[in-house]
Amino acid sequence: MFNPESIDFSVIDVRQQPQALDDVRHLLASSQLGMDDDIELFVTARFGMQLVGCAGLVSNTIKCVAVDEAWRGANLSARLLGEVENLAVRRGHFHLFLYTRPCNLQRFRSCGFYPLVQWDKVAVLMENSPVGILHYCQRLKKQAHSGQRIGAVVMNANPFTLGHRYLAEQAAASCDWLHLFVVSEDVSYFPFRERLEMVQQGVADLPNVTVHAGSDYLISRATFPGYFLKDAGLVSQTWSAMDLLIFRNYIAPALDITHRFVGTEPFCPVTNQYNRDMHQWLEEASRSPAQPVTVVETPRKRHASGREISASEVRALLKSQQWARIAEIVPPTTLAHLQRHYCAAVA
């Protein structure tokens, strides 16, 4: 057996050292894994000149963990994960997630990761805390409200439009209380803090609405891994299943949510499919031991011309500073925010 003490660990900055990734790709391929495009850093393990292990990191998510077949059983996985966890901590990320195949569950469990949600034999999401999701749900419970009909809306609001406002109004009017979650990951045109502010200002007059800053437990499609899923359709299917199971199994029970509201999606096929998946994963009793959540699709608000309002239209108009047209499709609070922050910057 090789001497584990002879292993040297180092870090590759993907953007600064793209030439160093060839052997990483080769090692991943030998484990039937691809490489996700969003990985920022790789921790590598070398025995002499030979690459024997690697683990990728993007924000607080560990991806693309692979160990050379000859080194499996030498505790290299645990050492490799320890190195990438230390790297994440130095970058300010203490709560970490890891996606893998279910066949690797015990391997990563022995390294201090705990299963959060699993979909069939396709994928499992793990976190480096046995109580992370429980503590999150305890915080949510402090914001619960009583009622027979408790609603939820999850939105990106990139930016907050009259369409988002209409969905919130309709949902709030039909519920005793509405919980509105703003997706927190900064993978949008507008930073999270700005999107959260626009939503808070845009629904401030609705008396039965709580606006929640999104959490890591609302999974972003933009950063969901595809490195161990070969088919693009399977990636989307797996993302929606895991995201919706977390919502149904943990978030909905914590807030006594009975209904989830969503606007119809005429523009984006991926989002349209996600809306259909909601009915499958939230409503069908056989999908989860948790109580079903009724999905309510609300027709999207339209222009006076009949065309559906979209946030992408606002972003396009913003580039050419068409403020009169923007004012027709966003609330006054959003318009004021955009003019305050983007008028001079774009001009």
The tokens for 201 are: 């200002």
Residue type, 44: T
Would you say residue 132 lies in a domain?
A: no
Would you say residue 339 lies in a domain?
A: yes
Average pLDDT on 170-189 reads 92
Quote the number of domains for the chain: 2
Q: How confident is the model at residue 72 (pLDDT cuts 50, 70, 90)?
A: confident
My answer on whether 53 and 193 are in the same domain is: no
- Across the chain, the runs of DSSP E, i.e. the strands, are 7-13, 41-47, 50-58, 61-67, 97-100, 114-119, 123-127, 150-155, 177-182, 209-213, 259-263, 294-298
- Return the CATH number at 243: 3.40.50.620
Per-residue model confidence as pLDDT tens digits over 109-129: 999 999 999 988 888 999 999
My answer on whether 278 and 190 are in the same domain is: yes
Tell me the DSSP string of 183-225. ---S-SSS-HHHHHHHHHHHTTT-TTEEEEE--TTS--GGG--
Per-residue model confidence as pLDDT tens digits over 289-312: 899 999 999 998 888 777 889 999
- Model pLDDT, residue 225: 65
Burial of 34 (0-12, 13-18, 19+ CB in 10 A): middle
Per-residue model confidence as pLDDT tens digits over 39-49: 999 999 999 99
For residue 131, give Cα distances in angstroms to 7, 116, 142. 33, 10, 17
Would you say residue 33 lies in a domain?
A: yes
Q: Of 62, 96, 130, which one is at a domain's C-terminal end?
A: 96
Would you say residue 88 lies in a domain?
A: yes
Average pLDDT on 311-320 reads 94
My answer on whether 336 and 193 are in the same domain is: yes
Q: What is the pTM of this model?
A: 0.91
My answer on whether 30 and 162 are in the same domain is: no
Q: Is the pLDDT of residue 5 over 70?
A: no
Residue from 156, 199, 204, 177 nearest 259 by CA: 177
Q: Is the pLDDT of residue 233 over 50?
A: yes
My answer on whether 160 and 289 are in the same domain is: yes
Q: Is the peptide bond before 159 cis (omega within 30 degrees of 0)?
A: yes
Query: Measured between alpha carbons, how far is 297 from 295 in angstroms, rounded to an integer?
Result: 7
Q: What's the count of helices (H) and strands (E) in the chain, helices before strands?
A: 12, 12
Range(s) of the domain holding residue 279: 144-346
Average pLDDT on 265-280 reads 85
My answer on whether 190 and 308 are in the same domain is: yes
My answer on whether 90 and 165 are in the same domain is: no
Average pLDDT on 153-164 reads 95
The tokens for 221 are: 């499609």
Q: At what angle do helices 332-346 and 311-319 cross, to 10 degrees?
A: 30
My answer on whether 209 and 277 are in the same domain is: yes
- Return the CATH number at 78: 3.40.630.30
Average pLDDT on 173-187 reads 92
Average pLDDT on 241-264 reads 95
